């Protein structure tokens, strides 16, 4: 319970302040889960019945179009991931969620959160703030696709979400930015100052320990 309380405090810090009582109530419904790299967290056709807070690791949401998978979203530490249409309508998801690294999540079950919202206005406000965050993030990404060229989209990703560039496979990043891997390669070779810094960081990471190895945190991830 202590770890779940810590996670509830972190969720409150990021999304919406909660009283100690609100933190305890949120902690009481958190469900720890872990997934190895490559595991499917939510398959296509299954109802998304929880919000998932990423404590450690990285996940992506994607779908298939013309027999190719298209990355719609990445989430990593401190982010909440869920398939919004499936969750709100409680209908089968057309999106798939998979772990890109060994990942530890805390699920916030749909039914349990709804029960808390009936009794506690704090939980309703937290839920609203989470939805606002997701809506704004989705709109910003959509606007980037509409109004920015390939180089500008990549530069924005480097500035705002460098973790994705450092940790996600390039083929998924290209898909997320709606460009081919070849175009992404040309953009990355543009040698702007921002790109140079991140290229250097990636080279350093290649020589260091992989983020998804079976470290002690993974072996004892769920207790």
- E-assigned strand segments in 36-78: 40-42, 50-56, 58-65, 68-76
- Along the 223 residues of the chain, how does pLDDT read in single tens digits? 689 999 999 999 999 999 999 999 999 999 999 999 999 999 999 999 999 999 999 999 999 998 899 999 999 999 999 999 999 999 999 999 999 999 999 999 999 999 999 999 999 999 999 999 999 998 999 999 899 999 999 999 999 999 999 999 999 999 999 999 999 999 998 755 544 455 545 555 555 444 444 456 566 655 5
Per-residue confidence (pLDDT) for residue 67, from 0 to 100: 87
Output the CA angle 29-30-31, nearest 5 degrees.
115
Ranges of each domain in the chain: 2-147+209-219
Q: Count CA atoms within 13 Å of residue 162 on its CB side.
A: 10
Per-residue confidence (pLDDT) for residue 105, from 0 to 100: 98
Crossing angle, helix 20-29 and helix 121-147, to 10 degrees?
70
d(CA 100, CA 59): 5
Class of CATH domain 2-147+209-219: mainly beta
Q: Mind giving me the DSSP string for 99-142? A: ESSSEEEEEEEHHHHHHHHHH-HHHHHHHHHHHHHHHHHHHHHH
Q: What is the CB neighbour count within 10 angstroms for residue 207?
A: 6
Q: How far from 22 is each of 13, 51, 52, 108, 174, CA to CA, in Å?
A: 12, 17, 18, 14, 40
d(CA 141, CA 178): 11
Query: Do residues 130 and 15 touch, judged by C-beta distance below 8 A?
Result: yes
């Amino acid at each position: 319970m202590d770890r779940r309380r810590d996670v509830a405090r972190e969720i409150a810090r990021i999304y919406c302040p909660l009283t100690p009582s609100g933190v305890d109530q949120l902690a009481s419904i958190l469900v720890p889960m872990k997934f190895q790299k490559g595991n499917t967290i939510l398959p296509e056709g299954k109802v998304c019945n929880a919000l998932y807070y990423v404590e450690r690791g990285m996940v992506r949401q994607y779908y298939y179009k013309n027999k190719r998978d298209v990355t719609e979203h990445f989430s990593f530490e401190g982010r909440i991931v869920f398939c919004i249409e499936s969750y709100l309508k409680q209908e089968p998801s057309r999106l798939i969620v998979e772990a890109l690294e060994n990942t530890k999540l805390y699920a916030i079950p749909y039914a349990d959160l709804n029960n808390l919202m009936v009794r506690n206005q704090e939980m309703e406000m937290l839920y609203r703030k989470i939805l606002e965050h997701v809506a704004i993030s989705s709109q910003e990404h959509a606007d980037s696709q509409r109004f920015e060229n390939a180089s500008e989209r990549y530069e924005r990703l480097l500035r705002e979400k460098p973790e994705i560039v450092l940790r996600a496979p390039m083929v998924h990043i290209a898909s997320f930015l709606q460009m081919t891997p070849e175009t992404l390669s040309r953009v990355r070779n543009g040698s702007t100052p921002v790109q140079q810094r991140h290229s250097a960081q990636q080279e350093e990471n290649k020589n260091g320990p992989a983020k998804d190895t079976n470290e002690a945190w993974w072996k004892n991830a769920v207790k």
